[in-house]
Structure 1
Amino acid sequence: MKKIFKLLVIICVVIVSAVPFSTFAKETDATDIEQETTALKGDNLETTTPDNQTEIKDESPLTEDKAAENKAKETTSKTESSTKETNFQTSSETESDEKETSEPILMAGDGSETNLIPDANLRATINTKLGKPADYFPTEADLGNLGGSLDLRNTTYTTLDGLQYLKKVIALQAVGITAPDGDLSYIAQMSSLVYLQINTSSFKRTAGLEGLTSLSNFQWTNNGQADSGSGSGNEMGDSFDPRTAYDFSFVPNNTALKYLEIEGVYSVDPKYSFLSDLPNLEHLNITISNMNDVSSLAKLDKLTYLNVNSNYISDISPLKNHSIYNNISASNQVVVLPGKDVYAGDSLTIDKPIKPDSSAMEYTLPANPVTTIAGDTIVMSNVINDCIVNYRLYNYETGENDISTPGVMMDFKSTELTAGEFSGQIIQPINVKAPAVDAAPVTVKYVDESGTKLADDTVLNGKVDETYTTTAKTIENYQLKETPANQTGTFTSEPQTVTYVYTLNDGAPVTVNYLDENGQNIAPSDTLIGKIGIAYQTSKKTIDGYKLTKTPTNASGVFGVDAQTVTYEYEKETNIDPINPVDPVDPVDPTDPANPINPISPADPVKPSDPTNPLNPTSDSGVVKATEKTNLPHTGDTTNHSMGLTLGSLFLVSGVILLRRK
């Protein structure tokens, strides 16, 4: 019985020991799978043993055989995991290095999966440079590692696609090739390019090269041509065969540019203004082009070589103070002057066109017409049709000498330059017209809007078919209203009139003020507007409580250039309280007297009687003789009836007066 019990215990121990070992084995296998998956994904993870596994292992009472077997499996698992991790890290480091050395670079191979260079001719040229078979498909890594220079010559390419992957190529020569104009942008993406020569190729524009910024040497010569120009006899520009005008404004993007050559092409800017933005330029060659101004070169202090042969330059004086001046190569210039009309038999005088002008400038003058130098001018005498030669100038748009230019030609050459040359031909185009016929006059009038004359007429005289030009006059206080349609025109056999119409300028305003004795406004001011010279009229205002004390002398006048002020002066009125009149007292009606006294008729006067016994004056015997006495009436000595009559009359008059007042 005891033996059976011991056997059961041993079996239980074995079973219990087997369970954690199986669990550990499963977890280890899962860990291996996870590590393999992580390695494929590129995650650089370290292999670790789960903590719970360690705990289980420590707690399990394994036998020595089982423990050894388990340890062996664990060691194998770690070794495999470490190997996978090492392989992944190596792959990652290699891939990282490749990414750093290219922008970007594909894994090495034949590139057949991706054709980076579609054109077979271009691919063959690059494969030769790579040392690969012609049918090899270069990878981006191949192209990115290709350095040095690349020559493309005398080949037609359907596209230049693929050149943009040549990140280490420093020099590109494209000579005699044909390719789409738009593909120049692929060249601009060659980021290490410092030398670029494009010669006698099909490109008719420079668009796409704007991305170039590192060039130190740029040559653009004889491109866009269909054929070479040729000439004979009196044709000018025999060596001129440019066929296209290009935009070179992108060139200054390359600030380190030292060498520039433009030949056999025209510039859309004949002044070549962009050259002033190339301060490091040392070598400049612009030949067989349309350059007509060297001003842009004046500040290129590092310039040591200059060749501008076969252009249209007439003035090199802007370079007079430059160190390159005496070494300039500027031969075979063609200077075409503005055309002139000359009546048959007349003379033509022109200014000397070549600068700088000095005794060192030599002219070879024609004998027909007789041509002489007179100070700063050239005089051609007795110009007739027989003197004129039909020169033919080069036309870059057609590539032919098909610009017919009848005129007179003369040569020039400067002997001032010690080691250089400045020479060429001058062409003066001339149109010889029939002998002049006096034309009818052109009368120029200056009037206002009503037709009133404002200034004296101007009379112009000339020859039939000559051009006349009139100008407006400045007239005080007036401005031009309209310019006549025939301001300029041609003299004819019929009289002509040109009329300039003017209108008055606006006058300055007239301000009317209404002030009291203290200078204060007592009514709103008025403002009058009108044309200069037009009359104005102001008027006073009726203002309550004020009376006008002064009327201005300029109450009327005319509008002028300067502002005017008209002032009406007022003062307050004095208020006097009226005295109310006393109503008159009703007069008393007179009453008839009760007993009127009838006037008494005077009594008959007593006649004096002679005295019976007159008294004799006193005699000498002592009798006093009475003397006659006469008494005069005194004031107020009247009879009673006279006084009453007077009083009655007074009462009567007073009554009448009182009655009238009522």
Structure 2
Amino acid sequence: MKNRHRTLIHKRKTIQTAMIFALLAPLFLTSSFVFAEDSTSANEQTTPSQTKKDLETTETTLKSSTTSENSAFEEPTVSTTSVESDTTVSTSDSKTTEEPAVAFITPKADTITIADPILKQAILSTLGLPSDSELTQADMERLTNLSLNSAEISTLSGLEHATNLSSIYMNTTNNITDFSPLEQLSSLTFVTLQTKSLSSANFPDLSNNTGLTNLSLGSTSIDDDILPKIAQLTSLTRIYMDSNMNITTIAPFKVLPNLKSLSVQFCGITDFTVINEFPALNDLAAFGQNTGRNDLPTTIGRSTLNYDFEQQTLFIPFSMMPNRLTNFDGHVPPFTTSNSASNTYLDFNGTQLPANRLQITDEGIKISGVTEDEFANLSSFEYNARLNNPAGSYAQPPGFTFYAISSGTYLHQFNVLDDGKPVTIQYQDTDGKLLLPSETRSGLVGQTFEIPAPLIPNYELTEIPANATGSFSDQEQTVTFVYKQYKPIIELLGKVTVHYVDTDNKPLHEPALEQTGEVGETFTTQQLTFKGYTLKEVKGDTTGTFTQEDQIVTYVYTKDDKTDPTTSTDSSETKNSTEQVAIASQNSHSPKTNTNFIASAKKRLPVTGEHYNYIWLFLGLCLIGFVNYQFVLKKVRQEK
């Protein structure tokens, strides 16, 4: 039995073991398949050195291809890097987990469209690619420097993909008007845009280029409006802006903390005193300034010109020339004294005067042969001359390694007008009395004037004269301001007086109550109660606001016929009414109250017929004394 029992147990364990293996069989079979697949992959893998060798072979084979995929392999170094970057290598198991590298599959790259063919060829040439190649993003990222020398380029579209571009050089006038693609490039350090098509309006916003150190904008169409845009590029160390005569100042650049070198030759700058405020500048090239080209003409009167009727000469002093070039130390270089046409140009009404009529000194120009008619008909003249400031004739700022403001020219125009007749100004009151001394103003014919009305104490202007604004003419003019007097406000306190009377205008309360307060504040009066009297009416406003004029409020009472004033001994009601008046006065909005009223309110008001009470008291006492006397006298008699 034991053996049979053991046999049954053995069979049962065998069946259980078979069932477990049956359940686990799929798992073992799957793993075997995976292991086999991994083994196959491992056999097909190549080492990194073999992959690189295969790629180099592939590049040699595909050099003549014109597709965009093959262009990525034009330079071995770049192509190898691109493919190797797509090869994934696991470091957890170097023997069995490396993924295979497919040598003949090119990396994924998007084709970049460059709209301008000339620009595209310049980029291909810079990268060393065939002229028929297509550009990819990888190509554009390899572009770090670009020189554009063709005048036929019309657009920079597509250049925004050159995200690693650090230097762009453009030194030829072209047709580019949109420079915005440069705004998306943040790696620029050197920017040269020397083309007439560049203006202040289309200058790109380069503020994203925090590393931009050198900016060159020579021979463009820019003006002073570009200066604030450049002033925000705080990393700049050198600015080159030669041959831009519409640049008339360098003051906005004083905020650049790193600017050391500035070249502004052949511009139109006059004021160099501002360089004292530059924190790091030590190199300034400002040779040959052409100043005054953008200045408006100056209008002068004919009488300001020094004309000699006997000698028929006209002297124009240099002191009347505005906006002259000034060195950093305030020195103003003189004009040339040469009268040759190549050094000094002077015209009357647009006609150049010959050199033999000009005698020039450091003080000014004397023009000979000026007839009275020529002087009378002179409506404009223009002066254009060279400066007499060679190198060494002016001071140089301390600490500068280079400084030049030599040479240069000056240009200015003048309009000559006849002197207008004077304008007389009068100030009077409504009665014609002069309030201020009369004044006169002078100007040129056609020149406008605007005369303001002055403030005169205790007077106010009635109206502004129509000719207070006008133009000088050949006729005399008079402008008259008329004022009226007003009462000055001495104090800003108002007063309200309150009377309490009967119908016969006899005061029921003396003195009258007064309230004072600032003009505009509110006041309130109180109705009082008098024994034997009833309020009939109130004259005036019981409430209101204080004004500059005094106000009166009158409470009128009528006497009650049923009340016997001689029998009244109760004064409590009158006393209470008086106390109410005192309280009302204390609670008034007025900051000031009548002290007499407060004092009198503390006293009890007399009651009508009060003196009769004392008579009855006296008679009563006499009666009591008499009765007592009779009682005492009767008692004495009885005792006897």
Normalised-by-shorter TM-score class? 0.5 to 0.7
| SS of 1:197 mapped into structure 2 | strand
Identity of aligned residues (%): 20
Which residue identity lines up with residue 159 of structure 2 in the other structure?
L
Matches within 5 A, 1:127-166: 127-147=124-144, 149-166=145-162
Say if 1:342 and 1:430, in contact at 8 Å, map to a contact too: no
Q: Secondary structure at the match of 1:169?
A: coil
For the 8 Å contact 1:411–1:426, the answer to whether it is kept is yes
**1:588-618 deviation line (CA, Å, top 9, x unaligned):** xxxxxxxxxxxxxxxxxxxxxxxxxxxxxxx
Give the secondary-structure state (helix, strand or coil) at the position aligned to 2:140: helix
Q: Partner of 1:608 in structure 2?
A: none
Contact kept, 8 Å, 2:284 with 2:404, in 1: the verdict is: no
Question: Is the CA contact 2:468–2:479 (under 8 Å) kept in the aligned structure 1?
Answer: yes
Q: Within the alignment, does 1:575 sit opposite 2:555 as a pair?
A: no
Aligned equivalents of 2:437, 2:170: Cα separation in 1: 70
Does residue 200 (structure 1) correspond to residue 183 (structure 2)? The answer is no
Alignment of 1:255 with 2:234, yes or no, is yes
Work out the CA distance in 1 between the residues paired with 2:320 and 2:487: 44
Query: Cα distance, 1:109 vs. partner?
Result: 4.8
Residue of 254, 261, 273 corresponding to 1:283: 261
| Separation of aligned partners in 2, 1:408 and 1:94 | 71
- Higher normalized helix content (fraction of residues): 2
Q: Shift of the alpha carbon at 1:260? A: 0.9
Partner in structure 1 of residue 480 of structure 2: 499
1:346-368: per-residue Cα shift (whole Å, max 9, x none)? 47664575446769846528786
1:191 to 179, 183, 186: 186
1:171-190 counterparts in 2 under 5 A?
171-176=167-172, 178-182=174-178, 184-190=179-185
For the structure 1 residues 539 and 140, does the alpha-carbon distance in structure 2 shift closer, same or farther, using more than 3 Å as the test? closer
2:535 corresponds to 1:538: no
1:517-552 deviation line (CA, Å, top 9, x unaligned): xxx9965435558xxxxx965366658969xxxxxx
For 1:424-573, list aligned pairs within 5 A. Answer: 424-427=408-411, 429-433=413-417, 439=421, 442-447=423-428, 450=430, 453=433, 455-456=435-436, 458=438, 460=440, 465=445, 470-480=451-461, 483-492=464-473, 494-502=475-483, 504=486, 507=489, 509-513=491-495, 523-525=514-516, 527=518, 538=550, 569-570=596-597, 571=600
Structure 1 residues 212 and 270, CA gap change in structure 2 (3 angstroms): farther
1:211 to 208, 213, 236: 208
Q: Work out whether residues 341 and 430 of structure 1, in 8 Å CA contact, stay in contact via their aligned partners in 2.
A: no
Instruction: Give the letter for the 1:176 counterpart.
Output: T
| Alpha-carbon offset, residue 276 of structure 1 | 0.8
Structure 1 residues 243 and 141: alpha-carbon distance in aligned structure 2, compared to 1, 3 A threshold: closer
Q: Measure the CA separation in 2 of the matches of 1:502 and 1:515.
A: 36
Q: Map of 1:295-306 to 2, 5 A cutoff?
A: 295-306=273-284
Task: Tell me the distance in 2 between the aligned counterparts of 1:146 and 1:342.
Answer: 66
Structure 2 residues without counterparts, runs of 5 or longer: 1-11, 52-81, 90-103, 308-314, 340-355, 397-402, 499-510, 521-546, 556-576, 580-590, 617-640
Deviation at 1:187, TM superposition (A): 2.0
The one of 358, 364, 386 equivalent to 2:337 is 364
In the alignment, which residue of structure 2 is the partner of 1:552? none
Amino acid at match of 1:429: Q
Deviation, 1:410, is 5.3
Could you give the per-residue CA deviations for residues 125-145 of structure 1, whole angstroms, max 9, x where no partner exists?
A: 222222221221222122213
In the superposition, the TM-score normalised over structure 1's length comes to 0.52
Secondary structure at 1:500 match in 2:
strand
CA positional deviation for 1:270: 3.4
Residue deviations 1:425-449 (CA, integer Å, cap 9, x gap): 4445344456x6x84x64423245x
**SS at structure 1 position matched to 2:39:** helix
Give yes or no for contact 2:206–2:233 (8 Å, CA) kept in 1. no
Return 275-284 or 245-254, whichever deviates more: 245-254
Per-residue CA distance 1:382-433 (angstroms, 9 max, x = gap): 897758999xxxxxxxxxxxxx962345554242347845444444534445
Deviations 1:490-538 (A, max 9, x none): 444555331334465973543245799xxx9965435558xxxxx9653
- Taking a change above 3 Å as real, the CA distance of residues 23 and 163 of structure 1, as seen in their structure-2 partners, is farther
1:446·1:499 contact (CA, 8 Å) conserved in 2?
A: yes
Partners of 2:248 and 2:268 within 8 A in 1: yes
Partner in structure 2 of residue 340 of structure 1: 300
TM-score, structure 2 as length reference = 0.54
1:238 alignment partner in structure 2: none
CA shift at 1:192, angstroms?
A: 2.4
Mapped contact 2:237–2:258 kept (Cα < 8 A)? yes
Number of the residue aligned with 1:615:
none
Q: Which amino acid aligns with 1:413?
A: N
Amino acid at match of 2:337: T
State the match for 1:79 in structure 2.
39
Matches within 5 A, 1:97-108: none
2:85 paired residue among 94, 118, 140:
94
State the alpha-carbon separation in 2 of the partners of residues 219 and 462 from structure 1: 50
Report the AA paired with residue 445 of structure 2: D
Q: What SS class does the counterpart of residue 263 from structure 2 fall into?
A: strand
Asked whether the 8 Å contact 1:270–1:292 carries over to 2, the reply is: yes
Counterpart of 1:131, as a letter, is G
Alpha carbons 2:288, 2:409 under 8 Å: kept? no
- CA distance, structure 1, for counterparts of residue 140 and residue 424 of structure 2: 81
Tell me which residue corresponds to 1:167: 163
For residues 106 and 148 of structure 2, the distance between their equivalents in structure 1, rounded to whole angstroms, comes to 25
The alpha carbon displacement at 1:284 in A equals 1.0
Counterparts of 1:171 and 1:489, CA distance in 2 = 59
Q: Say if 2:254 is the partner of 1:273.
A: no
State the one-letter code of the partner of 1:507.
I
Distance 1:81 1:133, change over 3 A: closer
Relative to structure 1, is the Cα distance of residues 299 and 96 closer, same or farther in structure 2, using a 3 angstrom cutoff?
farther
Aligned-residue RMSD, C-alpha: 5.4
> How far, CA to CA, are the matches of 1:387 and 1:157 in structure 2?
55
Post-superposition Cα deviations, 1:601-645, rounded to whole Å, max 9, x if no partner, equal xxxxxxxxxxxxxxxxxxxxxxxxxxxxxxxxxxxxxxxxxxxxx
> CA offsets per residue over residues 424-477 of structure 1, 9 Å max, x none?
44445344456x6x84x64423245x5654514525376883756645334123
Q: Any idea what SS the aligned residue of 2:425 has?
A: strand
Distance in 1 between residues matched to 2:148 and 2:295, nearest whole Å: 38
Cα 1:408–1:213 change in 2 (3 A) is same
CA deviation digits over 1:174-201, x for unaligned, max 9? 232635433x232233332211111135
Q: Evaluate the alpha carbon distance shift between residue 77 and residue 379 of structure 1 in structure 2; reply closer, same or farther with a 3 A threshold.
A: same
Task: Provide, for residues 321-350 of structure 1, a one-character-per-residue CA deviation record: whole Å limited to 9, x for no partner.
Answer: xxxxxxxxxxxx998873323147647664
Which one-letter code corresponds to 1:290 in the other structure?
A: G
Whole-angstrom CA distance in 1 between matches of 2:268 and 2:372: 32
Return the alpha-carbon distance in structure 1 between the equivalents of residues 316 and 595 of structure 2. Answer: 72
Unaligned segments of structure 1, at least 5 residues: 1-11, 32-48, 50-71, 99-106, 224-241, 315-332, 391-403, 530-534, 547-563, 584-662
What code does the residue aligned with 2:131 have? A
Q: 1:190 to 1:420 in 2, by over 3 A?
A: closer
Aligned match of 1:406: 381
CA distance in 2, matches of 1:371, 1:521: 93
**What is the CA–CA distance in structure 1 between the aligned matches of 2:234 and 2:253, rounded to whole Å?**
11
**Of the two, which has the highest radius of gyration?**
1
2:631 is matched with none
Give the Cα separation in 2 of the matches to 1:537 and 1:122. 89
Question: 2-side partners of 1:96 and 1:501: how far apart?
Answer: 97
Counterpart secondary structure, 1:460: strand
